[in-house]
Amino acid sequence: MRALWSERAKRLTWRHVWVALAEAQAELGLITAEQAADLRAHMHEVSEASVARALEIEREIHHDLMAELRAYAEQCPVGGAVLHLGATSADIEDNADALRLREGIDLLRGALRDLIRAFAEQTLRYADLPTMAFTHLQPAEPTTVGYRLAQYLQDLLLDDEALRAARALIRGKGFRGAVGTSASYAELTDDPAALEQRALAKLGLEAFPVSTQIYPRKQEWTVVNALAGLGQTLYKFAFDLRLLQSPPLGEWSEPFGVKQVGSSAMPFKRNPVLAERIGALARFLAALPRVFWDNAAHSLLERTLDDSANRRAALPEAFLAADEIVQLALRVVRGLQVNEVPTKRTLQAFSPFAATERLLMALVKAGADRQAAHEVIRERAMEAWAAVVAGLPNPLADLLCSDARVTCHLSPEQVRKALDGVGYVGDAPRRARALANFALERLAHDPMEPLVWTI
């Protein structure tokens, strides 16, 4: 990803676009084959020396693309004189940016496939392991670790689909000159559209049906939104992990190296630094769509240049941040530690509360008044909750088994059986496995196909 958004890659891609245009012009007899061949022969000669030369020219003329054009032309004694014939800067820059947007998504989706696979494998591994679920950050009912992981996996599949869809919509500006009317090319040929199609075919690129001096900046907003959506999913995962790694719960841990240092002052620390790094980068990534919203909204009339400077920084940074977030998440998921002892401890402490609904149903079936039974359970649950908060074992079963208002309908054995909340996970294991297997099956086929749920 760094190579793709590097200065050298940018200039190489510009040259690739220039050569495609020149070769199309040669095929139509607008320049000679020798001139086009000369441009191709020197296309890859982007070195430290050539970049230095371009920067030297830029300091004089204050136009980066024209500076690269002149440096390139100096290398091409035969073809340099016809380089950029009929073009405006955005004919080169925007087509090149479309190519890099597309390649950036391909690189990111490749890494994302590895992450989806890692989540699917961990989902299968822990599909049946019960754990306490939390709503409002309060204990709720049991779920399974695999089912919790399946939530992130599902969101990643949606993120992958958003990236696929964004990539499918990427188009270049085409070759249409200063305001998108192809007027300059019409001075060279009676059929500027045919010239454009030849050049675009050499790039493997389609163009928008209409364009101004630039391609629609809405395109970049759509792409960066998809990147930010991926960051959103992994931010939530990382934040959840940080909560679960905190000592009061201690259920999950990110991987921690044998010689890893957690703190310069406190040698015992095992800080969730990878998850925190994901959070930091995802916050940054989340702020970038607004930049591209403004770029699209403020591209007045046929274009203004007040997007140019921020795009140079924001486009590479969006892709680099998204890529780094995925790589960090991959390290975390592959090395995820699910600590079963504290997981079981939390479950045992709170699962009887979750099973009170089951007990209520059993009491009503046995002839109890539903409202009266609800109040008895509520009273006893509040007593038990106070004990748990004080660090004592959960006494709810004992309290209810000793309450005559309950035992007049159910035996103590029936009460305890009803309050066994560990197995109260419904079909979570089946659904977790189904989603994980669906994800793995999707990875085994064409990743460019649209997402269709078949679970």
Report the catalytic residues. Answer: 136, 263
Q: Are strands 130-135 and 138-144 parallel, antiparallel or unpaired?
A: antiparallel
Q: Are strands 252-253 and 130-135 parallel, antiparallel or unpaired?
A: unpaired
Closest CA to 331 of 391, 220, 241, 399: 241
- Per the document, the length of the chain is 455
Residue identified by tokens 């045992």 is 348
Q: What are phi and psi of 401, to 5 degrees?
A: -70, -20
Question: Six-digit token pair at 266?
Answer: 């406190």
- Alpha carbons within 13 A on the beta-carbon side of 313: 7
Report the distance separating Cα 35 and Cα 73, nearest Å: 11
Range list of H helices, 190-253: 192-203, 218-245
Range list of H helices, 136-211: 145-168, 183-186, 192-203
Report the distance separating Cα 210 and Cα 212, nearest Å: 7
Residues 6+ apart with CB under 8 A from 175: 21, 86, 87, 91, 95, 182, 185, 192, 195, 196, 199, 200
Q: What are phi and psi of 448, to 5 degrees?
A: -85, -5
The 10 Å CB-count burial string (b at 16+, else e) for 209-222 is eebbbbbbbebbbb
Q: What are phi and psi of 169, to 5 degrees?
A: -95, -5
Q: Are 178 and 24 in contact (CB under 8 A)?
A: no
Helix, coil or strand: residue 207: strand
Question: Which residues of 62-150 form beta strands (DSSP E)?
Answer: 130-135, 138-144
